[in-house]
Amino acid sequence: MKKDCLCYLDYKENPVKASRLFAGHFHDEQVQRIADHFNTPASGFKNISFDPQLAAKFPADETGFATRDLSAYSNSEEAYHAFMTDLVAKQYASTRLALASTPVKRIFVDGGFSKNEVFMNLLATRFPELEVYAASIHQSTALGAALALHKAWNRKAVASNLITLQFYDHTKVI
């Protein structure tokens, strides 16, 4: 479990590597801190649009947005982009550990961050050699496990539209 990376076996006993970064709580804390500093509602960050020029202003620093002085930013959107750049840097470092010596060509994101346009675009930019997808449902990993065992517990055909994926193209970001 070096730096929160896992290696486990799938149901056919093949090795599977995974990267875990439990960033949801940290995200919520920093969003509240930004909202408080700029006197804006924290709920407004859920639908913030990705601005590639704004994100490019802030070099990634995985060491600590939490200690940054928010008065260095002009507004909440600027601070949020800086925060997300740092958060994606942490995700990049964690994912790189899991990807070492693997032929992986795609990254699939589920959970709350799959709905975050800023996070997903920054992630695609950090991994230009990989295809980056966001799942349309939060628990697509659990759905995948259920589908792997589907024939063992259900004789009905699997619906073809259970999940959709949104591709984030790094060439369209910048």
Q: Check residue 79 and give its pLDDT.
A: 96
Percent of the chain with pLDDT over 90: 38
Give the C-alpha separation, 51 to 78, whole Å. Answer: 9
Q: 40 Cβ partners below 8 Å, 6+ apart?
A: 34, 76
CATH architecture of 23-173: 2-Layer Sandwich (3.30)
Give the C-alpha separation, 117 to 31, whole Å. Answer: 15
Each residue's pLDDT tens digit, 162-172 = 777 878 888 77
Residue ranges covered by each domain of the chain = 23-173
Each residue's pLDDT tens digit, 16-29 = 666 667 788 899 99
Q: Check residue 1 and give its pLDDT.
A: 45
Q: Which residue, among 97, 96, 68, has the nearest Cα to 83 in the 3D structure? A: 68
Q: Check residue 127 and give its pLDDT.
A: 95
Distances (CA, A) of 89 to 11, 83, 85, 147: 32, 10, 6, 32
| Sign of the CA dihedral running 32, 80, 61, 138 | positive
